[in-house]
Amino acid sequence: MRQLTAELAEVWRFRALFLQLVRRDLKVRYKNSKLGFVWSIAPPLMQVACITFAFKNATTFAAKFDSYSAYVLAAMIPWTYFQTAVLDSSQSILMMYGVIRKVYMPREIIPLATSVSNFIHFAMSWLVFFAYLVFYLHAPLLPTLAWFPVLILAQFFLVTAASLVVSCLNVFYEDVKYIVTVLFNLGLFVLPIMYLPEQVLHSPTMQSLWGGWAARIYMWNPLAVLISGYRKCMLEPPHPSVLGGNAATPFDPGSVLGILGVSFVALVLSYMFFNARKWRFVERP
Amino acid sequence: MTGAPKPSIRLAGLRKTFTLQHRHAGSLKAAMLSIFTPPRLERREVLRGIDLDILPGETVAIVGRNGSGKSTLLSLVARVYKPTSGEVTVNGTVAPLLELGAGFHPDLTGVENVELYGAILGLSRRQIQAQFDSIVRFAFDRPDLAEKIDTPLRNYSDGMKMRLGFSIAVHTDPAILLVDEVLAVGDEAFQHKCLDKIEEFQAQGKTILFVSHDMVMVRRVAHRVVWLQDGLVLRDGPTADVVDSYMAEPGPAASAAASPG
């Protein structure tokens, strides 16, 4: 524990460089186009539009929502953040390789800066969501919205944890980036993005599989818990007909606190994993 | 106590051993498949106990054939490697010169890159802003070059990037400058400028530690030469003496010395 605080003190000493790296990431991200931020949020919005088109026309449940696209968008924003932050950080250390071979710095500030710059972008993306919610859908702001900061904090911990592990492994193994990309492609379908987790939990197949454990394991996925939490704290529950007559489970503050704790533990463990390897990044005889 | 000055750099019993994996698993897939067959490891001792004091104001060149541990020694002083055993003590700020293009981002402008690169070398934003004009003037003496400072770095030639990097590094006002063979790049006029700057540093009493195969450069700049061989200090003394015996050595040492750069 003492060693961990010493490492963090060293990060603090290098905060000026850390802030420059965050600025660099954001500048580069918004510089490549005239429209900057608007342009960089276009891909997830187009994805939501296409998913809405497909599901409203090809399935029966999507049309029963008051606003299906709000449900998809509330899941797509955190999912896009997770993906881009982890993929960006997988390259982050290699991009700075020529520097860290010559100049001392606590190496964790490199993936940390990527994680923070992506978090800033993520926070701004929610503004688009809330604008849509309030000005287009005229939806009420629910009191459970008070839990929203806890959710984004939990996700920040989780994303940073994943970024530290992936950025570190990617220095030693060249195929990490491809493996992560494949997993992310699967995530779009396995995570409750285009549907509700309750639909999986109530599905007869999942309930009979492994004596009901399959449904329980599905909700062990921290991202599934987060996505479900975002939706329940911001959006009114869908009409019971969406879930075949069952009411959606209400917002559960306990699960939010649980995910905050899990993400924090994951962050501490990932940081220790990173620290145990960071000195070997550049060492070559 | 004696009145001897505190050394800028003190290496005490410095050892560095690398662990090499023979069948190197370059991919996670291979690493997972070979989880039950532990890799054969080889330990290579690159530095085997170096004791060295470098005093403030000294310019010390490290010579030796390839694989003698020169760059490893410089990396240990720069703190990018962790010693296996022994100690590195550095008094004062250290500025390493980076390889061409490292730390720069092609999409950012020259101005933005100066800020970033300065931060990498440990300058605060205020320090960078205060030095900014001087950095640009040193790097680009022609007005047509200086105009480019507001355009993305992708428009710069390699020579311009090199100039800008060197200019930022020397403007960090370090107490100790580490140079690892990077001055061989750039046109002749700029090389002269770099040498002038190094002489200016010497006049200001700064410490310079550099690695070079270029004996002309070593003779011209260094006060003292340390000759490394197989991870140990073979000779350490005044430039002329050590360089003469290094050049007289048959084999790779002499041939490396004959072809500068």
Whether B120 sits inside 8 A of A32 (CB atoms) is no
Dist. CA B83–CA B102, nearest whole Å: 24
Give the pLDDT confidence score for residue B252 in this predicted structure.
52
Dist. CA A17–CA B215, nearest whole Å: 37
Nearest CB neighbour to A17, from listed B96, B98, B119: B119
Indicate whether B254 pLDDT > 60: no
Cβ–Cβ < 8 Å for A282, B71 = no
Give the pLDDT confidence score for residue A81 in this predicted structure.
95
Rounded average pLDDT over B34-39: 70
Quick one: pLDDT band at residue B22, thresholds 50, 70, 90?
low
Whether B125 sits inside 8 A of A104 (CB atoms) is no
**Shortest distance, CA B215 to any CA of chain A (angstroms):** 23
**Shortest distance, CA B119 to any CA of chain A (angstroms):** 5
**Residue tagged 């950025």 (tokens):** A167
* B98 Cβ under 8 Å from any chain A Cβ: yes
Give the pLDDT confidence score for residue B260 in this predicted structure.
41
Contact list, B26 vs chain A (CB under 8 Å)? 173-174
Cβ–Cβ < 8 Å for B49, B86 = yes
Give the pLDDT confidence score for residue B18 in this predicted structure.
87
Dist. CA A225–CA A259, nearest whole Å: 7
Contact list, B27 vs chain A (CB under 8 Å)? 173-175
**Going by DSSP bridges, is the β-strand pair B232-238/B207-211 parallel, antiparallel, or unpaired?**
unpaired
Whether B20 sits inside 8 A of A103 (CB atoms) is no
User: Which of A6-20, B20-34, B138-152, B199-213 is least confident?
Assistant: B20-34
User: Which of A205-219, B111-125, B196-210, B216-230 is least confident?
Assistant: A205-219
Whether B99 sits inside 8 A of A102 (CB atoms) is yes
According to DSSP H, which parts of B142-187 are helical? 143-146, 158-171
Q: What percent of chain B has pLDDT over 70?
A: 87
Bigger pLDDT: B251 or A193? A193
Q: Which of B217, B98, B92 is nearest to B168 (CA)?
A: B98
Quick one: pLDDT band at residue B62, thresholds 50, 70, 90?
very high
This prediction's pTM: 0.87
Strand-pairing partners, residue B50, are B14
Indicate whether B255 pLDDT > 50: no
Indicate whether B233 pLDDT > 80: yes
Rounded average pLDDT over B218-224: 91
Whether A99 sits inside 8 A of B103 (CB atoms) is yes
Rounded average pLDDT over B199-225: 89
Indicate whether B87 pLDDT > 90: yes
**Shortest distance, CA A1 to any CA of chain B (angstroms):** 21
Torsion over CA: B115, B116, B120, B125 (sign): positive
Dist. CA A147–CA A143, nearest whole Å: 9
Dist. CA A262–CA A239, nearest whole Å: 31
Rounded average pLDDT over B131-157: 83
Report the side by side order of strands in the sheet with B176-180.
B94-96, B176-180, B207-211, B59-63, B224-229, B232-238
Nearest CB neighbour to B80, from listed A27, A102, A179: A102
Greatest mean pLDDT among A196-210, B119-133, B148-162, B217-231 lies in B217-231
**Shortest distance, CA B152 to any CA of chain A (angstroms):** 10
Tokens at B43, concatenated? 């330990």
Angle between helices A222-234 and A68-95 (to 10 degrees): 140
* pLDDT (tens place) for every residue of chain A, 285 residues total: 778 899 999 999 899 899 999 998 888 888 766 677 777 788 888 888 899 899 888 888 888 888 888 999 999 999 999 999 999 999 999 988 888 888 889 999 999 999 999 999 999 999 989 998 889 888 888 888 899 999 999 999 999 999 999 999 998 888 898 999 999 999 999 999 999 888 888 888 888 888 778 888 888 899 999 999 999 999 888 888 878 777 788 888 999 999 999 999 999 999 999 999 998 888 766
Rounded average pLDDT over B66-90: 90
Dist. CA A135–CA A38, nearest whole Å: 18
Give the pLDDT confidence score for residue A206 in this predicted structure.
81
